[in-house]
Amino acid sequence: MDSFVLQKGIVLIEINGVFLLVADQEGRKYCNYIKVINETGAFIWNQLKDHRSLDEIVSNIQDEYEILDSYHIRKDVNAFIQLLKEGNYIA
């Protein structure tokens, strides 16, 4: 089962509907200070934080947003996870 380890020192904050990943002193050793993500990205981030697997994340997005098409969700989640890996947000 695939699982992901998030970088330490990264905080997800929401201000007036804007979602930001903000790095503290420890997190800035590996990641940019601020990264803007969208609401779905924030949902996925929280799923990763709760140690959900890819299958669980896809299933939970289907439930949360009432979407039937799991193929495209899986593709989008993979793309977001790849983005996080490239930014060192996933260790």
Partner 1 sequence: MARNYYQLVCADLPIAYQFIYQDTIQYFKGYIVESDDIAQINISLTNAYLEDNRWLVNADEKSESFLEFQALMLKTGNSLLSHNRALFHGVALLWNNYAWLITAPSGTGKTTQLRHWKRLLKKDVTIINGDKPALECKDDGTVWVYSSPWRGKEKYGHPNIKAKLGGIIILEQAKYNDMKPLAAEDAVIPLYVEFVSMPETTEQIENQAEILRSVLKSVPVWKLKNLGDEDSAILAINTLKTYYGWNNG
Q: Which residue has the tokens 């949360």?
A: 64
Minimum CB–partner distance for residue 13 and partner 1 (Å): 4
Q: Is 29 in the site for partner 1 (CB under 8 A)?
A: no
Q: Give the tokens for residue 4.
A: 């992901």
Which residue's structure tokens are 């990205």? 41
Q: Nearest approach, Cβ of 23 to partner 1 (angstroms)?
A: 8
**Neighbour-count burial for 42-58, b at 16+ CB within 10 Å, e otherwise:** bbbbebbeeebebeebb
Q: What's the rounded Cα separation, in Å, for the pair 32 and 88?
A: 9
Task: Kindly state the smallest distance separating residue 16's Cβ from partner 1, in Å.
Answer: 4
* Interface residue with partner 1, options 36, 68, 71, 86 (CB under 8 A): 36
Q: How far, in Å, CA of 42 to CA of 36, rounded?
A: 10
Q: Is 20 in the site for partner 1 (CB under 8 A)?
A: yes
* Contact status: 83 vs partner 1 (CB under 8 A): no
Binding site for partner 1 (CB under 8 A): 9, 11, 13-18, 20, 22, 24-25, 28, 33-34, 36
